[in-house]
Amino acid sequence: MLASDPEIDTSPKVADEVKYTTCYMCACRCGIKVHLRDGKVRYIEGNRDHPVNHGVLCAKGSAGIMTQTSPARLTKPLKRVGPRGAGEFQEIEWSEALATAEQWLGRIRATDPKKLAFFTGRDQSQALTAWWAAEFGTPNYAAHGGFCSVNMAAAGMYSIGGSFWEFGEPDFERTRYFMLFGVAEDHASNPLKIGINKLRQRGAKFVSVNPIRTGYSAVADDWVGIRPGTDGLFIFSLIHELLSADKIDFAYLVRYTNASWLVIDAPGSAAHGLFVRSADGRALVWDGENQRLASSNDITVKPALVGRFALPNGTSAIPSFELLARRFLAPEYAPERVAATTGVEASKIRQIAAELARVAFEEEIVLDLPWTDWAGRRHDKTVGRPVSFHAMRGISAHANGFHTCRALHVLQMLLGSIDVPGGWRYKPPYPRQAPPGPKPSGKSVAAGKTLGGSPLGYPLAPEDLLVDSAGRALRIDKAFSWEAPLAAHGLMHLVITNAWKGDPYPIDTLFMFMANMSWNSAMNTTGTRSMLTDKDDRTGEYKIPRIIYSDAFWSEMAAYADLILPDTTYLERYDCISMLDRPIGTADAAADSIRQPVIALDRDVRPFQDVLIELGARLKLPGLIDANGAPRYPGGYADYITRHERAPGVGLLAGWRGSHGDKAGRGAANPRQLDAYIANKCFWTAEIPDEAKFYRFANMRYLAHAEAMGFLSEPKPITLQLYVEPLQRFRLAAEGHGTVQPPPAERERIRTYFDPLPIWYPPFEEAAVDAEQFPLHAVTQRPMAMYHSWGSHNAWQRQIHSENRLYMHRATGTALGIADDDWVWIVSHHARVKGQVRLMDGVNRHTVWTWNAIGRSPGAVRLAPNAPEVTRGFLLNHIISELLPARDGGYRYANADPVTGQAAWYDLRVRIERIGAFSVVTDTNERPLQSPPNARPVPLTLSYGREFRTRS
Amino acid sequence: MTSLPAIAPDAKKLGLVIDLDICVGCHACAVNCKQWNSGGFAAPLTDSEPYGAEPSGVWFNRVHAFEAGEGAEGRTVYFPKSCLHCDDAPCVTVCPTGASYKRASDGIVLVDESKCIGCKLCSWACPYGAREYDPNEGVMKKCTLCIDRIYNENIAEAERVPACVSTCPASARHFGDLGDPKSEVSKLVAARGGYDLMPEQGTKPVNKYLPPRPRQNTSCASNAALPVATTEPAGLFLKWVDRLLSR
């Protein structure tokens, strides 16, 4: 009976205004286009022109409206009025909040600046926050990298002057074989999905190495369900196979790596294991044709890669390649020998090694693209080996993660696939020199003085460590001490424990930003909470006397603060995604971007960065005041972004510099710079010249370009480090050489783990606990629709993940008499937690897992105390100890990598005890966190968007 | 009862083609759909107990996950599901008021809320469970194929596709005229063996699913293992001594 369709309005008005900015629903920093109607957000979509996401937007980014309208948003500064942790606060004015912080911090700076521990979680303004810490004069600064992926970053920086994610990406346009290791469904979120689609459209093979077959692993051609913590051994075996078959790229090794550099073989001497160097410090090689020593930068020489060569001083030396080959050719790395440990069949290892070799060497890509190397030699073509890799926390969050990540870079070097067509490619401003710089600052801390450099950096020798004459740590987190010498991102996971213990010293104020350290960002969550509330018996004061916390939301950590500085959401402030911090470029182009306020504030909160700058000026920190003592950046963070220079002409943003806005990279500050960004949809991008796009470590045109743009301080070629000499310097110190040596108790550890070539060893927790008592691994995966705990107060995201199950293999469950939906205890050497089981097939049989950070504390982020996040959700954090079981002598090391201090989240070992088939909810005796004063009501029903509807 | 329009052989049939080969189950389509439609044609998409014990809301698109096969053949499948805009839509013919209807002009199945009495017969009739009742509004809601986007002259032409298609990070979703055999989506369906969901139900869905491509997960004879150059490291080292390459 329908003669015609009912008339409907198919062209309704969408927005009054459209503004561009940068997403912050996770760490990927996609460009977004925000449609606004009557001052409210109508719709957020991806920015089609943006280099990160090209118009797409993930579930998290698409849920931004519900973060903007969350009832958990803080509305006013708060000061604690009840006992710490009880959540009793009183609203105060900003004037009082700032005066309080100024008073606390001013006293510290005037007496002992290191008594301020300033740690910022998933902070995207580290170019500001690290600099601010240095201006304040405290070495005790870091962001969240120490508990995230510092193994990945450090192993890459020391090996190849770059790493994965922000440092480089697979050449998805050309690669024909892609291996993904340990990526928990994110990092980088949209770019990886865009890339994997390209692979599948072209028929390129995609292999995923992950104990769990979800997310990206679900669409891989080959899923390698490896046992956690054994990725390094698996990579060792691949290298073993490639070397045995003589399938490695010798030409690449000779030209671009230190494979030919001679390593002194004089055991017991102070020079053992170091490179043979000329008087001017240049590494030497053995000229195989003329049988003599030669400089490593002499391009006329054909250097030997194997052999033992006599040195003038009577000792001998061996090319680093031979040492490496001997290591990896050892019979214990044959596929049959590693199969049982890794859980990967020998035939599968052989198959993957063969496929890597075939694609790398038989499917070579030759681009008709001439380039010139650092020595001025013209190459008519650009040759590529189309195998590529990407890896993240799954391989790095283990106590053997540094060396596993190193092994992966060694594999890439042996295949000749770094920065070549079809391989893995750097993103500007990388590559940087390898080994990297600068060194960490913090050796001398003095009242009223700045630090004199960045608190974080890359030590190259024991002399660069931050330790006192007795070898004790100078930093509160013990970063850059003998316990974690290459802790390039600090150890945020140790700050509270150490501050509570007063080891190495007590602090006065803990100042944190967006880090949920009393919940999902802590190991040993329950213990951490006790430490935050523990008091000194003598004085009755808290052992951590003062805590300042800045967050936009009423999180678990907010309850433990003494002073809360409420932050804005990402849609309400200026920010910059700077190349001085974690860059967002692509392999073909440098890029940076900004956030701008797209909606007006409706409550009394301020951007944290504005507050930090104002606080700095009140404290008269030198960089934050002008010659007259007046605030140098009265316009807050936006002003700082525009006018601050790190080096002459180099500021936070690289685009539209110069007084006319016509300079890129280097140039004077441009007062109209932010307007230029806003006019360009809030990002800037600069294409790398075609001839400079590959072999950048040795590409003359690129190196000159990088210097001109300010990416590199000088256009010096970068030699890829198969053999990492700085590690040997630490080992020599442990053997009694040099002026800075580890205390006796640390020597064996340093000697063992500071191997200049990759090693593999079982993760520490696995080695320390009884395998029969704790027979299973327990790890987390991060769901694609939720970023850590950020989504639980988001009404849409929490409908996708409001509870988390404990997933286990069907056969493992059957053997334990466990059925679907059973409640179990998950028991570690440290503690136990309850969870409800879901059986599945796509998981390693020795592994149980759950989604990360779904469980919440009652009342946190203003969820109902009986919300499923509370009653059915759980955190593995409760059963992960921040310390390893006591070793001989009773000392408990951090549950971390011995080289970098990275938190070893995924080393957890557990047993599963069945509670029963009946429904048992997670028991909690916790009193629910009450709401902050004058909190907005929590709606029982949400009808967001009704006002936008045009009814016909 | 409501009648379906007569469908001419060359009628326009707008719909989605969903590629199960590349869907990684990220929920971007579901959330972006929720976002667009919360302020769109059928707004609001009410959420009950948004911060409470049993949060639930109206979603036009939901992603399901399941495992299939065993051993090396086993796989994890993500399956996004929304209204399939069937040619023989049982949700339309069952509707007692004419609220549920299929457009003659493009085949999109919609609900005219002014006629909907919230009886839920359509949701019982739909074999795919693709209808969403809004208890707060007392009416049935469903995927509109973003009818307020695809023809919307207030947004850029490139954006005139359903929100789920526009946002999908893996490009696993395609939109077009499945009534036109020459359209890109029809060609994709032909090339990849696109199929109907539950054809035995006789609903003739317009939306199609593309099956996963065969996995390259077994070794073929040519690359089963590396030819071992030499079994002994000593032999390898001897060979490498003579390998002198210029820098």
What CATH code is carried by the domain that includes residue A534? Answer: 3.40.50.740
Burial class (CB in 10 A: 0-12, 13-18, 19+), A765: buried
CATH of the domain at A891: 2.40.40.20
Which among A547, A571, A595 is the end of a domain?
Answer: A571
Q: Do B151 and A10 touch (CB under 8 A)?
A: yes
With tokens 């136990």, the residue in question is A832
User: Chain B residue with minimal CA distance to A2?
Assistant: B5
**Interchain CB contacts (distance < 8 Å): A and B:** 322
pLDDT at A353 over 90: yes
Interface of B with A in 72-111 (CB under 8 A): 74-78, 98, 101, 103-105, 110
Stated as kind and residue range, the H or E segment containing A674 is helix A673-679
Q: SS3 for A779?
A: strand
Share of chain A above pLDDT 90, in %: 94
Tens-digit pLDDT profile for residues B165-210: 999 999 999 999 999 999 999 999 999 999 999 999 999 999 999 9
Its pTM surpasses 0.95: yes
- Nearest CA of chain A to the CA of B207: how many Å? 21
Which residue in A23, A246, A936 has the most chain B C-beta atoms within 10 A of its own C-beta, making it the best mutation to test that interface?
A246
pLDDT at A921 over 60: no
In whole angstroms, give the CA distance from residue A584 to residue A47. Answer: 14
In whole angstroms, give the CA distance from residue A550 to residue A381. Answer: 53
Q: Do A306 and B237 touch (CB under 8 A)?
A: yes
Q: And the tokens for A311?
A: 């040195």
- Nearest CA of chain B to the CA of A590: how many Å? 22
Q: Do A12 and B152 touch (CB under 8 A)?
A: yes
- Nearest CA of chain B to the CA of A64: how many Å? 9
Interface of B with A in 10-39 (CB under 8 A): 21-28, 30-32, 34-39
In whole angstroms, give the CA distance from residue A624 to residue A617. Answer: 5
Residues paired with B139 in a beta bridge: B134
Tens-digit pLDDT profile for residues A794-828: 999 999 999 999 999 999 999 999 999 999 999 99
Whether residue A946 contacts residue B43, with contact meaning beta carbons closer than 8 Å, is answered with yes
In whole angstroms, give the CA distance from residue A642 to residue A272. Answer: 50
Q: Residues B154-161: contacts with CB within 8 Å, 24+ apart?
A: B154/A11, B154/A12, B154/A13, B154/A14, B155/A14, B158/A48, B159/A45
- Nearest CA of chain A to the CA of B125: how many Å? 21
Q: Do A62 and B223 touch (CB under 8 A)?
A: no
First and final C-alpha spacing in chain A: 22
- CB-based burial, A197-207: b 16+ in 10 Å, e otherwise: bbbbeeebbbb
pLDDT for A895 equals 96
pLDDT at A573 over 70: yes
Establish if B144 touches chain A: CB-CB under 8 angstroms.
no
In whole angstroms, give the CA distance from residue A361 to residue A423. Answer: 12
Q: Where are the alpha helices (DSSP H) in A311-397?
A: 320-329, 335-342, 346-362, 393-396
Report, at the CATH architecture level, how domain B14-221 is classified. 2-Layer Sandwich (3.30)
User: Chain B residue with minimal CA distance to A243?
Assistant: B236
- CB-based burial, A876-890: b 16+ in 10 Å, e otherwise: bbbbbbbbbeeeeee
Contacts of A14 in chain B (CB under 8 A): 152, 154-155
Q: And the tokens for A318?
A: 């061996």
Total count of domains within chain A: 2
pLDDT for B224 equals 60
Compute the C-alpha angle A428/A433/A436, nearest 5°: 110
The reply to whether A201 falls in a domain is no
In whole angstroms, give the CA distance from residue A566 to residue A251. Answer: 57
Whether residue A350 contacts residue B225, with contact meaning beta carbons closer than 8 Å, is answered with yes
Q: And the tokens for A719?
A: 């030699």
Whether residue A903 contacts residue A147, with contact meaning beta carbons closer than 8 Å, is answered with yes
Establish if B163 touches chain A: CB-CB under 8 angstroms.
yes
pLDDT at A479 over 90: yes
User: Chain B residue with minimal CA distance to A53?
Assistant: B169
pLDDT at B163 over 90: yes
Q: Do A45 and B163 touch (CB under 8 A)?
A: yes
Going by C-alpha positions, the residue among A272, A255, A258 that lies closest to residue A311 is A272
Q: Where are the domains of chain B?
A: 14-221
Whether residue A680 contacts residue A593, with contact meaning beta carbons closer than 8 Å, is answered with no
Strands A776-781, A909-916: pairing kind: antiparallel
The reply to whether A429 falls in a domain is no
Q: SS3 for A465?
A: coil
Confidence of residue A18 (pLDDT cuts 50, 70, 90): very high
Contacts of B30 in chain A (CB under 8 A): 59, 800
Strands B132-134, B109-111: pairing kind: unpaired
Tens-digit pLDDT profile for residues A369-395: 999 999 999 999 999 999 999 999 999
The reply to whether A878 falls in a domain is yes
pLDDT at A2 over 60: no
Out of A45, A218, A304, name the one closest to residue B25 (CB). A218
pLDDT at A890 over 70: yes
pLDDT for A302 equals 97
Contacts of A242 in chain B (CB under 8 A): 226
Whether residue A524 contacts residue A895, with contact meaning beta carbons closer than 8 Å, is answered with no
Contacts of B79 in chain A (CB under 8 A): none
Q: Average pLDDT in the A716-745 region?
A: 97
Tens-digit pLDDT profile for residues A45-63: 999 999 999 999 999 999 9
Beta carbons within 8 Å of A738's beta carbon, 6+ residues apart: A270, A461, A462, A463, A729, A732
Where in the sequence is the domain holding A778, given as residue range(s)?
764-916
Confidence of residue B221 (pLDDT cuts 50, 70, 90): very low
Q: And the tokens for A441?
A: 């600052």
Contacts of A326 in chain B (CB under 8 A): 233
User: Chain A residue with minimal CA distance to B226?
Assistant: A354
Q: What are the E-state strand segments in A266-332?
A: 284-287, 292-295, 309-310, 316-319
Q: Do B47 and A63 touch (CB under 8 A)?
A: no
Q: Average pLDDT in the B121-134 region?
A: 97
Beta carbons within 8 Å of A563's beta carbon, 6+ residues apart: A77, A78, A79, A80, A97, A100, A101, A104, A546, A547, A548, A549
Q: Please tell me what DSSP assigns to residue A707.
A: H
| Angular region, A841: left φ>0, alpha ψ -120 to 50, beta rest | alpha
Whether residue A922 contacts residue A874, with contact meaning beta carbons closer than 8 Å, is answered with yes
Average pLDDT score, chain A = 95
Out of B5, B154, B245, name the one closest to residue A254 (CB). B245
Q: And the tokens for A121?
A: 């979680």
In whole angstroms, give the CA distance from residue A350 to residue A333. Answer: 12
Stated as kind and residue range, the H or E segment containing A391 is strand A387-391
User: Chain B residue with minimal CA distance to A11?
Assistant: B152
Strands B109-111, B100-102: pairing kind: antiparallel
Contacts of A864 in chain B (CB under 8 A): 49, 51-53
pLDDT at A675 over 50: yes
Interface of B with A in 47-76 (CB under 8 A): 47-57, 59, 65, 67, 70, 74-76
With tokens 């007006």, the residue in question is A600
Q: Do B76 and A358 touch (CB under 8 A)?
A: no
In whole angstroms, give the CA distance from residue B21 to residue B11. Answer: 29
Q: Average pLDDT in the A339-358 region?
A: 97
pLDDT at B220 over 60: no
Q: And the tokens for A403?
A: 């060396």
Q: Do A55 and B3 touch (CB under 8 A)?
A: no
**Chain centroid offset of residue A927 CA:** 34
Q: Do B245 and A943 touch (CB under 8 A)?
A: no
Out of A2, A61, A190, name the one closest to residue B3 (CB). A2
pLDDT at B219 over 60: no
Starting at the edge strand found earlier in the chain, the sheet holding A89-91 runs: A89-91, A78-80, A563-566, A546-551, A509-513, A116-120, A141-142
AA identity, residue A422 = G
Q: Please tell me what DSSP assigns to residue A581.
A: S
- Nearest CA of chain A to the CA of B139: how many Å? 14
User: Chain A residue with minimal CA distance to B134?
Assistant: A943
pLDDT for B7 equals 83
pLDDT for A951 equals 63
Q: Please tell me what DSSP assigns to residue A667.
A: -
| Alpha-carbon Rg for chain A in angstroms | 28
Which residue in A1, A5, A296, A940 has the most chain B C-beta atoms within 10 A of its own C-beta, making it the best mutation to test that interface?
A5
- Nearest CA of chain A to the CA of B6: how many Å? 9
Compute the C-alpha angle A846/A852/A856, nearest 5°: 130
Q: Average pLDDT in the A269-297 region?
A: 97
- Nearest CA of chain A to the CA of B238: how many Å? 9
In whole angstroms, give the CA distance from residue A305 to residue B153. Answer: 67
Whether residue A872 contacts residue A922, with contact meaning beta carbons closer than 8 Å, is answered with yes
In whole angstroms, give the CA distance from residue A221 to residue A203. Answer: 10
Q: What are the E-state strand segments in A546-704?
A: 546-551, 563-566, 575-577, 589-595, 645-647, 650-651, 683-687
The reply to whether A446 falls in a domain is yes
- Nearest CA of chain A to the CA of B184: how many Å? 15
